[in-house]
Amino acid sequence: MTIESDGVARSAVFFIPSSYSGKDKVPVVFDFHGSHSNPRGQLNRSAWDKVAEKNGFIVMALQGSLPGNSTGTYAWNVPYVTTQAGGLDEIEFIEDAVEEAKEEFCVDSARIYASGYSGGGRMLSAYLCSGHDEFAAAGFVHSLRAGRPMEVDGKWLPEQANCNPARPISIMAFAGVKDDANPYAGGGGPYWQYGFKIAVQRWTELDGCKGNGDPKTVDDVTFSLYGACKNGARIASYVFANGTHVWPRPAPATEAVLTAAREGAAGVTKVAAVTAVKPAFDPNVDPASRMWEFFSKADSTDVIATAAPATAKSGTAVASDCGKQADLQGTTCNSNQPIDTRRSVQGGQDAL
């Protein structure tokens, strides 16, 4: 689909779950691709469309305005850190895209979320820092920022004046200690410099969080949760000791065991007997699924358990003015137009 922004037709891909009827308001998740990638490639990487199908929400993947390093790939013109020519106003584009989603689909305005990978997460960070408050919560994979880098007395820190969020916002962030593109400890490109811990610490200050995150480690994954922040916001993080810049994936063997357990397959009793002590959290992390649990449990203290799929009514209609109708009618939208369900099938590589 195309979205008009500042007089330019911008590109986006959306996914509509089969349960969508156009009659009930549904959540929306915006998925931001990394550098040298594209919206379809990002959906293939993140699998947000699969999570959306299970849980009954819409996904919109926007396309950055800068050309990538290969045909059909793109990057984001992130304010203050991008110097390439030809970049457009991405902040305005994202704002326009959110409004387009509200007008085109039957959207619950209180449940609009965003997720960014690498350069897409840097773009999302800049959007939140610019003071926009359309997103109820946000997720970051190898990408959390809290303002542009600034060197102070030989130490790189986020420039405080460069990040002024509209309100405290719940954030879930993922990082790999062995990431050599956006280094966990800092350094790397001029747009990066300060490390993941510093970015998280700055967001705890911006959100007014208390405590130290109470970190817990299982296998090579460390989970932290700042559960007492202003306005009910929370900040959660997953750090992978052996993680690189690749989107984290559950281990195939662990995935098979969990599938067998869910289906009641033979041998589950034996596995359960070996695991005598219940771990502090489930380290078998799929970022999109875990983010959705976090987003959909915004008023709950339980953000690490597996969430059951939401039940959604089936249907086949959507109206271009559905969002406006929903605002007038409270909780429902009505239409007679057919849904155009789109799924991602192609991918871009080497996103940074």
337 belongs to a structural domain: no
Q: What is the mean pLDDT of residues 173-192?
A: 97
**pLDDT at residue 259 is higher than 90:** no
Q: Are residues 129 and 152 in the same domain?
A: yes
Collapse the DSSP code of 287 into the 3-class scheme (helix H, G, I; strand E, B; otherwise coil) and give the result. helix
98 belongs to a structural domain: yes
Per the CB < 8 A criterion, the answer to whether 55 and 297 are in contact is: no
Q: Are residues 167 and 316 in the same domain?
A: yes
Q: How many domains, the chain?
A: 2
Pairwise CA distance, residues 260 & 254, whole Å: 10
**pLDDT at residue 278 is higher than 50:** yes
Which tokens sit at 166?
């509209």
Q: Are residues 72 and 212 in the same domain?
A: yes
Instruction: Look at residue 137 in the predicted model and tell me its pLDDT.
Output: 97
Q: Are residues 145 and 263 in the same domain?
A: no
Q: Are residues 205 and 271 in the same domain?
A: no
Radius of gyration of the chain, Cα coordinates, nearest whole angstrom: 20
**pLDDT at residue 253 is higher than 60:** no
**pLDDT at residue 140 is higher than 70:** yes
Confidence of residue 280 (pLDDT cuts 50, 70, 90): confident
**pLDDT at residue 313 is higher than 90:** no
Q: Are residues 184 and 222 in the same domain?
A: yes
243 belongs to a structural domain: yes
352 belongs to a structural domain: no
52 belongs to a structural domain: yes
Q: Are residues 181 and 276 in the same domain?
A: no
217 belongs to a structural domain: yes
Neighbours of 184 (CB within 10 A): 20
List, for residues 207-225, the tens digit of each pLDDT value. Answer: 999 999 999 999 999 999 9
Q: Are residues 277 and 221 in the same domain?
A: no
Structural domain boundaries, residue 257: 251-284
Instruction: Look at residue 352 in the predicted model and tell me its pLDDT.
Output: 65
- The two counts, helices (H) then strands (E), for the chain are 9, 14
Q: Are residues 129 and 202 in the same domain?
A: yes
Q: Are residues 264 and 142 in the same domain?
A: no
Per the CB < 8 A criterion, the answer to whether 322 and 333 are in contact is: yes
List, for residues 24-42, the tens digit of each pLDDT value. Answer: 999 999 999 999 999 999 9
Average pLDDT, the chain: 84
Q: Are residues 151 and 260 in the same domain?
A: no
Buried b (16+ CB within 10 A) or exposed e, 276-306: eeeeebbbbbbbbbbbbbbbbbbeeeebbee
Instruction: Look at residue 328 in the predicted model and tell me its pLDDT.
Output: 37
Q: Are residues 92 and 217 in the same domain?
A: yes
Q: Which of 100-114, 253-267, 331-345 has the highest mean pLDDT?
A: 100-114
225 belongs to a structural domain: yes
List, for residues 71-119, the tens digit of each pLDDT value. Answer: 999 999 999 887 677 789 999 999 999 999 999 999 999 999 999 999 9
Query: In terms of pTM, does the model score above 0.85?
Result: no
Is the backbone of residue 229 left (phi > 0), alpha (psi -120 to 50) or beta?
A: beta
What's the CATH code of the domain at 202?
3.40.50.1820
346 belongs to a structural domain: no
